[in-house]
């Protein structure tokens, strides 16, 4: 080999390296495919080149890029896999050099027309993880020279780099499309939730209002009992709608937080007391340990009450008859910690990571015995986080659960040291 030949070889390899780097960087598919055919022509010193890929719909090969000027009409042409040059390379995953294209039946008349006056060709497969994803064809070595083994080698190297780049680009495009579809379906879901909860609010309010008025006006204990069922059910429905309607706002970060000084011990006692009846109904011991000292946080009382009532609602629902539910309030440095502890059915370890996701339920919605939409915990989490707090759960299936949340104390209180009584179930009142 002469020095001139070695120089030329080095130049080609350097150019191949440059092209490979470029292919890795350009991820827009159209631009990438065009760069591949341009590089194929340049590196093999060919008059033109083309790239074909498999089209699932037609089960044929399709020209996806070419250096030929008639790009649009060429891209409309499909090539059969059987008996064509590109098809053979596609199936056999091996390169083919055609030295006399005009007498080779695999280079059909139509392709001759597309590729111009082809007299010699190289077709190489683009392999990705052992599968052919496309075929690169170069046509006519310049100056009517014959294609050499070096030409084949350099094209094969280019094809393998190109295959990786094309697959990355296609995957990225697929991901983008999937993400856009997801965003669209999230938007539709939010719109639906917003409309449905808005429409439900008024009739539920009317049912509750009228039922309460009738309840106050009658004395028959039997009727009173029946009306209690109506009021209880309508109240439950109201809560579901409230959880529902907080979702679109939570998602967009649009839910307003009306911050005021909130005494957590007082709030916890009040909300716990509102579950007395529900707990009594299942003979569940409901106790609340609130220290003498009040803990002040800066927050939205309504929202914080909703957090606790969602946790209590679950604790009572998912605890069997005769069980217990304890609520504790304690101070940690700079924070107040509220825990709702039950000895109920617990949560399987595999479900714990998703328990705060929207619409997540351990039992499928249709199989479950308990009501609810799988929203309570996600709403609670969003509300706690709005207050710069944290919420988490510790749970053992069959033994019980401990849901806790931390809220930052108001500045002055956060710095004042205080002793917190340790939690002892026996000391709860």
* Other beta carbons within 10 Å of 184: 10
Position 401 contacts ligand ADP (CB under 6 A)? yes
Q: How far apart are the first and last CA of the chain?
A: 97
User: Which burial class, exposed, middle or buried, applies to 343 when counting CB atoms under 10 A from its CB (0-12, 13-18, 19+)?
Assistant: buried
The phi and psi torsions of 212 (rounded to 5 degrees) equal -65, -40
Q: Looking at 372, 384, 387, 405, which residue binds ligand ADP (CB under 6 A)?
A: 372
Token pair in block for residue 253: 């970060």
Position 392 contacts ligand ADP (CB under 6 A)? no
Position 40 contacts ligand ADP (CB under 6 A)? no
The full DSSP string for 303-316 is: HHHHHHHHHHHHHH
Binding mask 283-322 for ligand ADP (x = CB under 6 A): ---------------------------x---xx--x----
- The residue range among 102-110, 292-300, 371-379, 417-425 that interacts with ligand ADP, by the rule CB under 6 A, is 371-379
Position 344 contacts ligand ADP (CB under 6 A)? yes
Residue with the closest Cβ to ligand ADP?
A: 372
Do 106 and 98 contact (CB within 8 A), yes or no? Answer: yes
Q: How many whole angstroms separate alpha carbon 116 and alpha carbon 114?
A: 6
Q: Please say which residue, 15 or 189, places its beta carbon nearer to ligand ADP.
A: 189
Q: Which residues pair with 336 in a beta bridge?
A: 331, 407
Position 373 contacts ligand ADP (CB under 6 A)? yes
Instruction: Provide, rounded to whole angstroms, the least separation between the CB of residue 377 and ligand ADP.
Output: 3
Q: Please say which residue, 296 or 404, places its beta carbon nearer to ligand ADP.
A: 404
- The residue range among 184-192, 204-212, 222-230, 340-348 that interacts with ligand ADP, by the rule CB under 6 A, is 340-348
Position 376 contacts ligand ADP (CB under 6 A)? yes
- For residue 367, the 8-state DSSP code is T
Q: How many whole angstroms separate alpha carbon 306 and alpha carbon 104?
A: 78
Residues forming contacts to ligand ADP in the complex (CB under 6 A) are 310, 314-315, 318, 342, 344-347, 355, 360-362, 372-378, 401
């Amino acid at each position: 080999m002469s020095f001139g030949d070695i120089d030329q070889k080095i130049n080609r390899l350097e150019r191949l390296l440059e092209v490979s780097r470029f292919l890795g960087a350009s991820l827009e598919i159209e631009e990438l495919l065009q760069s591949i055919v341009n590089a194929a022509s340049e590196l093999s010193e060919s008059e033109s080149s083309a790239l074909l890929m498999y089209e699932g719909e037609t089960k044929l090969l399709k020209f996806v890029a070419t250096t030929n000027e008639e790009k649009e009409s060429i891209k409309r042409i499909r090539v059969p896999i059987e008996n064509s040059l590109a098809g053979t390379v596609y199936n056999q995953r091996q390169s083919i050099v055609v030295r006399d294209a005009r007498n080779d039946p695999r280079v059909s008349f139509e392709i001759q027309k597309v590729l111009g006056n082809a007299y010699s060709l190289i077709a190489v497969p683009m392999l990705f993880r052992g599968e052919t994803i496309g075929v690169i064809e170069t046509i006519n070595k310049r100056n009517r020279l014959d294609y050499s083994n070096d030409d084949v080698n350099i094209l094969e190297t280019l094809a393998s780099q190109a295959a990786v780049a094309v697959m990355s680009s296609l995957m990225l495009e697929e991901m983008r499309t999937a993400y856009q579809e997801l965003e669209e379906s999230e938007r539709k879901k939010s719109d639906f939730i917003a409309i449905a909860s808005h429409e439900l609010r008024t009739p539920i309010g009317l049912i509750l209002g009228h039922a309460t008025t009738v309840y106050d006006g009658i004395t028959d204990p039997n009727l009173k009992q029946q009306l209690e069922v109506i009021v209880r059910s309508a109240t439950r429905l109201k809560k579901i709608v409230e959880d529902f309607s907080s979702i679109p706002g939570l998602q967009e970060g649009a839910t307003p937080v009306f911050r005021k000084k909130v005494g957590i011990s007082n709030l916890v006692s009040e909300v716990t007391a509102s579950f007395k009846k529900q707990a009594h109904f299942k003979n569940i011991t409901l106790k609340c340990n609130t220290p003498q000292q009040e803990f002040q946080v800066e927050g939205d009382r309504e929202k914080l009450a909703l957090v606790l009532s969602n946790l209590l609602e679950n604790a009572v629902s998912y605890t069997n008859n005769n069980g217990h539910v304890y609520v504790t309030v304690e101070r940690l440095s700079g924070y107040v910690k509220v825990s709702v502890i039950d000895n109920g059915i617990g949560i399987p370890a595999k479900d714990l990571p998703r328990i705060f996701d929207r619409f997540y339920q351990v039992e499928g919605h249709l199989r479950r015995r308990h009501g609810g939409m799988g929203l309570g915990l996600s709403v609670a989490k969003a509300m706690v986080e709005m207050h710069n707090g944290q919420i988490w759960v510790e749970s053992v299936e069959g033994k019980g659960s401990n849901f806790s949340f931390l809220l930052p104390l108001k500045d002055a209180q956060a710095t004042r040291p205080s002793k917190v009584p340790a939690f002892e179930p026996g000391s709860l009142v």
